[in-house]
Amino acid sequence: MTQNMYVYEGGEIDLTLVTRLYPAALISAGGESAQVSLEWADMKKEKVALEAYVLICDFDPVGEVPLNRVEIRFETKEELFGAMNNIASLVKS
């Protein structure tokens, strides 16, 4: 693996091209899926169905509508945080 390349199941991401990177929870509400903050999902966990945790990587310039996006899904918050720590260590090196 080369520096600044994050490899995940399904592909790899050149971290130097990412303009926004953030975690979210994917919930199901009213038959639709929506991305919400982790904090909101925790507060509403009794009222919404959690589908997955996601790490969102946008590639469009900040300020533009993000059309070029990769969403990496995780079953647990621990897996999500592990991926975030892995990415942080790649960016630091």
For 36, the enclosing helix (H) or strand (E) is: strand 32-36
Q: What is the pLDDT of residue 78?
A: 96
- Residues whose CB falls within 8 Å of the CB of residue 91, separated by 6 or more in sequence, listed in order: 4, 15
pTM value? 0.85
The pLDDT of residue 90 is 86
pLDDT at 6: 92
Question: pLDDT value at position 2?
Answer: 59
On the CB side of 43, CA atoms within 13 Å amount to 5
Domain that holds residue 25: 5-92
- Total domains present in the chain: 1
Instruction: Give the DSSP H or E segment for 87.
Output: helix 77-92
The pLDDT assigned to 59 comes to 95
Query: 22 pairs with which residues across the strands?
Result: 56
The pLDDT, as a whole number, for residue 84 is 94
Give the residues across from 12 on adjacent strands: 7
Percent of the chain with pLDDT over 90: 72
Which regions of the chain are under pLDDT 70? Answer: 1-2, 93
Taking the C-alpha atoms of residue 50 and residue 25, their distance in angstroms, rounded to an integer, is 7
pLDDT of residue 37: 96
